[in-house]
Homo-oligomer: A and B are copies of this chain.
Amino acid sequence: MKRCWIAAVTCLMTVVMMSFASVAIAKVKPSVETAKCLDCHEAMPGIVSQWEDSAHWDAGVGCYECHKAEKTDADAMDHYGFTVSIIVSPRDCGACHPKETAEQEASHHAKAGDILNTKDGILGQTIGGEPAVAVGCRQCHGSIVKANADGSLDTNTWPNTGIGRVNPDGSKGTCSACHTRHRFSKEQARQPQTCGKCHLGPDHPQKEVYEESKHGILYAAFKDDLNMDQPKWVAGEDYFDAPTCSTCHMSATRNQEVTHDVGTRLSWNLRAPISKRTANSEQKLADMKDVCSACHGEPFVEGFYTQLDEFVVFYNNKFAIPAKEIRQLLMDEGVISKSDFDEKIDWLYWELWHHEGRRARHGASMSGPDYAWWHGIYDVAKNFYTEMLPEAKEACERAGKPEVYERIVATYIDGRKEHEWYTKGFDKGRIEEMKKYYLERYNQKVN
Asked whether A426 lies within 8 Å of B122 as measured between CB atoms, the reply is: yes
Q: Which residue of B lies closest to A298 (CB)?
A: B44
Chain B residues with CB below 8 A from A9, complex form: 15, 18-19, 23
Partner of A306, one of B155, B235, B293: B155
Asked whether B434 lies within 8 Å of A374 as measured between CB atoms, the reply is: no
Partner of A127, one of B2, B183, B376, B385: B385
Asked whether B220 lies within 8 Å of A191 as measured between CB atoms, the reply is: yes
Partner of A294, one of B46, B421, B444: B46
Q: Which residue of B lies closest to A272 (CB)?
A: B442
Bound complex: CA A114 to CA B187 (Å): 44
B-contacting 9-mer, from A165-173, A194-202, A281-289: A194-202
B-contacting 9-mer, from A97-105, A363-371, A393-401: A363-371
Partner of A307, one of B45, B49, B131, B300: B131
Asked whether A237 lies within 8 Å of B45 as measured between CB atoms, the reply is: yes
Integer count of this chain's copies in the complex:
3
Q: A293-B44, A304-B159, A344-B386 are known contacts. Are A129 and B318 too (CB-CB below 8 A)?
A: yes
Asked whether B307 lies within 8 Å of A241 as measured between CB atoms, the reply is: no
Q: Which residue of B lies closest to A137 (CB)?
A: B373
Asked whether B421 lies within 8 Å of A127 as measured between CB atoms, the reply is: yes
Min CB–CB distance A104 → chain B (angstroms): 18
* Contact mask for chain A residues 305-348; partner B; CB cutoff 8 A; 1 contact, 0 none: 01110110111001000001001100100000101111010010
Interface residues in A41-75 by Cβ distance below 8 A to B read 43-47, 49-50, 52-53, 58
* A–B pairs, 18, beta carbons within 8 Å: A1-B53, A5-B23, A8-B11, A47-B296, A86-B297, A114-B437, A122-B431, A127-B421, A129-B377, A135-B372, A137-B373, A152-B299, A155-B303, A156-B307, A188-B217, A193-B221, A197-B217, A324-B447
Contacts A135-B373, A137-B373, A276-B443 supplied; 9 other A-B pairs, CB < 8 Å: A8-B11, A8-B18, A121-B430, A135-B307, A135-B308, A135-B364, A135-B369, A201-B375, A340-B426
